[in-house]
């Protein structure tokens, strides 16, 4: 099991998820996915904290690395109402990480962009997270890492096409 800085609580949760020792391959895959999710979430939280961000703030900044987004689009992306996103944006603006501005031609709409500080923070977070997550698969042979990446991409693509909009 990957133990590089993963908290004892996260390790215990991941181990508990695998206690359903069974001969059912589906259950074994499910347990493995739960364990992997626990590890990834622990790493994400730890890297967020080291960058003085909450996990939700880190996610917001990473989404905005791709460019400005409308408040409605961000609310949909986060699966929350615009009112809930407003609080997150208020905190991000107070910290100088992001700013809201009017959308030209639509007086009611606002778009969100990263500030220079927000862009530097998001870039640093993204690089550090990539390095940490890369350590999870670094012990695998190159062919196995490539296969893992391809399989993950296929699962994500399939789920994006079959999940209903919120």
CATH number for the segment(s) 54-162:
1.10.10.10
Confidence at residue 90, expressed as pLDDT on a 0 to 100 scale: 95
Residues of the chain with pLDDT under 50: 1-20, 166
Q: Which of 38, 92, 82 is nearest to 60 (CA)?
A: 92
Confidence at residue 105, expressed as pLDDT on a 0 to 100 scale: 87
Confidence at residue 27, expressed as pLDDT on a 0 to 100 scale: 74
Q: Which of 126, 103, 129, 100 is nearest to 114 (CA)?
A: 100
Confidence at residue 101, expressed as pLDDT on a 0 to 100 scale: 94
Q: How far apart are CA 29 and CA 31, in angstroms?
A: 5
Confidence at residue 18, expressed as pLDDT on a 0 to 100 scale: 45
Confidence at residue 163, expressed as pLDDT on a 0 to 100 scale: 57
Domain borders along the chain are 1-50, 54-162
pTM of the model: 0.77
Please say whether the beta carbons of 43 and 6 come within 8 A: yes
């Amino acid at each position: 099991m990957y133990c590089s800085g993963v908290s004892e609580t996260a390790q215990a949760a991941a181990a508990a998820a695998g206690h359903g020792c069974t001969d059912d391959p589906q259950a074994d895959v499910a347990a493995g996915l739960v364990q992997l999710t626990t590890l990834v979430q622990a790493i994400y939280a730890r890297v967020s904290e080291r960058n003085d961000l909450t996990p939700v703030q880190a996610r917001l900044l990473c989404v905005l690395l791709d460019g400005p987004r409308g408040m409605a689009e961000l609310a949909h992306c986060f699966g929350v109402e615009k009112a809930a996103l407003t609080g997150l944006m208020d905190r991000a603006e107070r910290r100088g990480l992001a700013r809201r501005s009017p959308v030209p031609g639509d007086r009611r709409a606002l778009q969100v962009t990263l500030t220079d500080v927000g862009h530097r923070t998001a870039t640093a977070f993204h690089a550090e997270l990539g390095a940490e997550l890369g350590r999870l698969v670094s012990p695998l042979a190159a062919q196995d890492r490539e296969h893992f990446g391809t399989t993950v991409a296929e699962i994500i693509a399939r789920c994006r096409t079959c999940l209903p909009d919120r």
